[in-house]
Structure 1
């Protein structure tokens, strides 16, 4: 079976509403075509899958109903087993995500009535009930998949054996790569401005303790764009990739407790813990970043120009200057070397590089220092940086020593796929499965027909 990427429900609205409604006008008699455990699959579910794929720009002419039905069976098996394994998806979590998706749909097509009409529902309550089940099942599916692959680990010996087992004609080729380093200088925020933010957060905290809604305060005042829409809500565990200071405070609080203001690289926060479930914490937070003056931004530019001149005159190396003067602590101790966020190694494949970063380094020769670059990041604001290219690697066939981390990633992915396949094979045998006569001639990858 071909791998088919399931987009979010929002993907349905990435093409014009007129096109989508035209695709959906042909009525079909709906019926149950499959059962997996307690879950049923309707013929209309497969029709909806086609519409989703077309909305994402996927050419569906070579994708059969059997393939889409097989994917539906897989998803229902994951969701069914998630229930058996006591994986919990809370109603609050589903409703919060549903509100975000409905808002996005309405913004895309123009009105809530059009969204409801597309799904052929009578009113918003009927639509939310229908949409709730879809979201909950999707979340159960994804959490079950995550649980399976999270338990998969790979040893160096397994990586070596995987590499040795690749036929020469199938050996992967890795594109041209660069190693990039940068020095960052941020404008200095005055202590007076910091205190204004702290006082504002203390006032918000006081009002919440006196009965105001933390949700409403987050919507009104938080500068964290990722969480404003759901009232500053996050669910996290110790492995969630939040900055250390944020996690330290989050896991030090009891249910219902609100933190004092504390600082991270993004600004000042307060956190309110709503629920603690084992190793997971559900919380809301408010972020406000202190503002700097134009004079402070000018001083930051002058500072980085001085650093650059010292490097060019060989008074100090780029690496030493980064360790001594960079305001980016994530790269400072590594001599300013950037880690690729996708691979977590200090190399960037040019064809997959962030376009902004590529534009900044594309004309640089090895060890050349860029002019000061004014940059801006959400949550951090404006700052100046200088960039250099430490090393370049041309396109090449995979080399075990040079490309170990990439080969390890391929080997781990291969092992995860095999683990999922074995898991599915075992669960299919022990799960009640019924296939409609219309689909019993399909050639499935998995043994859904239990032959």
Structure 2
């Protein structure tokens, strides 16, 4: 999904901004006439809208069933139906939700142009403030459509009996294949960093602060040169507007207390490393700041010491002195797993539930490499890895369970099959809603679409 969003963002960035005068059923854009080809309720679909979606599909490798010349405008029209109903039902999209997505998109575009606000404005032929305003309307419409769809299917439920009936009647070659999955427990410990290394990093940050205060360099320049946050360094350290809840608590406490954009904060320690911060702006319950992140380097001596300690723990577990499940809450410093007896889990974005089952490619690569050849119940030798916060940590892993790839069964894969049935019923509900909605909304198509074979009936009236 993230890849598709990035491709869409890239395509939107490169589209030139063109303006002109409107005429009946057409808009003059530069030297190109952009005509209205569909009407859906009070909304018009322009030929340029269709060409834009065609470009998106080509970049993302999306294939259409049937003729794209018919499928593309129909998809746009369907989205307008959802938006129309969302307005009738007073579906609310908060400014905070829209602003967060706007900043995410702006930040992605800035990454594409090496963090240069000036280059982004040049590409879009607009000041950044206008880019934000235009993007806010588009993303607000997108969120309204998504929430309208969620409302239409929110009451759909699936019982175990529904799942069994559905799959009893399914041809054997249509039963979904469940790839190999594993459940893994870990005990993680972070090597201790020497005081000398901590002081070195803090001294560097103090030097940066002094250079900014003296006017020898700007905060943005130093961030591009020295910050170890790859997501923001190219943008001069700028985070974009964010809420308190999305930030490390220690970082947020300082960032939200800044009042003077000319001053640099004190040194802040977070779970990612050490920072200095500079305020850009506050807007409601959100703040936009720049920061420079420096990460202390872990010595090989500290790593070896931690690996040895974990190997000793693993040996004690193998000898029966205590269990992995008993050791994890007491000896692991991984807050994501220590309270679940070391069991790793992931949030399944498509279904909303949390699962402890991982496909091998979804595990951290260092963990996957270790457990790939392990037997169920076996405990690994210690190994080091970089965690999701960018820190060097040491780990021992236990393979709790392995479920080999297989055709799904109700007894072993109920949740997987339940999700299939639930998604099927949601699709059917959405499809029928569109069919019924078309009957009640005014639509008009150009003659070139009169012979199209559409997915939904009733467009031609």
Partner of 1:142: 142
Cα gap change, 1:263 to 1:146, in 2 (>3 Å): farther
Q: 2:71 aligns with which of 67, 73, 79?
A: 67
Partner of 1:314: 320
Q: CA deviation at 1:338?
A: 0.6
Equivalent residues, number: 417
RMSD: 5.0
SS of residue matched to 1:274: strand
Partner of 1:17: none
Q: 1:388 aligns with which of 389, 395, 398?
A: 398
Higher mean alpha-carbon deviation, 291-300 vs 152-161, is at 152-161
CA distance in 1, matches of 2:228, 2:314: 33
CA distances 1:265-324 after superposition (whole Å, capped 9, x unpaired): 2223455473344xx524335233222222212222222222222222222222222222
Q: CA deviation at 1:415?
A: 6.7
Partner of 1:222: 227
Cα gap change, 1:148 to 1:80, in 2 (>3 Å): closer
Cα gap change, 1:6 to 1:314, in 2 (>3 Å): closer
CA distance in 2, matches of 1:445, 1:44: 22
Q: 1:301 aligns with which of 303, 307, 313?
A: 307
Partner of 1:266: 272
CA distance in 1, matches of 2:192, 2:260: 35
Is 1:176 equivalent to 2:186 in the alignment?
no
Is 1:284 equivalent to 2:283 in the alignment?
no
Partner of 2:377: 367
Q: CA deviation at 1:251?
A: 9.2
Cα gap change, 1:410 to 1:233, in 2 (>3 Å): farther
Alignment of 1:313-352 (within 5 A): 313-342=319-348, 344-350=354-360
CA distance in 2, matches of 1:254, 1:447: 58
SS of residue matched to 1:311: helix
CA distance in 1, matches of 2:253, 2:447: 57
Confirm or deny: 8 A CA contact 1:148 1:420 kept in the other structure: no
Confirm or deny: 8 A CA contact 2:153 2:430 kept in the other structure: no
CA distances 1:115-163 after superposition (whole Å, capped 9, x unpaired): 9xxxxxxx84659999989855653343224434666896896554753
SS of residue matched to 1:330: coil
SS of residue matched to 1:233: coil
Q: CA deviation at 1:194?
A: 3.4
Confirm or deny: 8 A CA contact 1:236 1:281 kept in the other structure: yes
Confirm or deny: 8 A CA contact 1:163 1:407 kept in the other structure: yes
SS of residue matched to 1:306: helix
CA distance in 1, matches of 2:317, 2:406: 32
SS of residue matched to 2:337: helix
Provide TM-score, normalisation by structure 1: 0.70
Confirm or deny: 8 A CA contact 1:350 1:358 kept in the other structure: yes
Is 1:275 equivalent to 2:285 in the alignment?
no
CA distances 1:187-213 after superposition (whole Å, capped 9, x unpaired): 211344335545655676788789986
Higher mean alpha-carbon deviation, 165-174 vs 407-416, is at 407-416
Partner of 1:32: 36
Cα gap change, 1:427 to 1:141, in 2 (>3 Å): farther
CA distance in 1, matches of 2:164, 2:333: 44
CA distance in 2, matches of 1:81, 1:200: 56
Unaligned runs of 5+ in 1: 14-26, 107-111, 116-122
Partner of 1:442: 452
Higher mean alpha-carbon deviation, 191-200 vs 174-183, is at 191-200
Confirm or deny: 8 A CA contact 1:12 1:56 kept in the other structure: no
Q: CA deviation at 1:233?
A: 1.6
CA distance in 2, matches of 1:81, 1:207: 56
Confirm or deny: 8 A CA contact 2:379 2:397 kept in the other structure: yes
Cα gap change, 1:437 to 1:254, in 2 (>3 Å): farther
Is 1:55 equivalent to 2:59 in the alignment?
yes
CA distance in 2, matches of 1:255, 1:399: 59
Higher mean alpha-carbon deviation, 83-92 vs 44-53, is at 83-92
Confirm or deny: 8 A CA contact 1:11 1:55 kept in the other structure: no
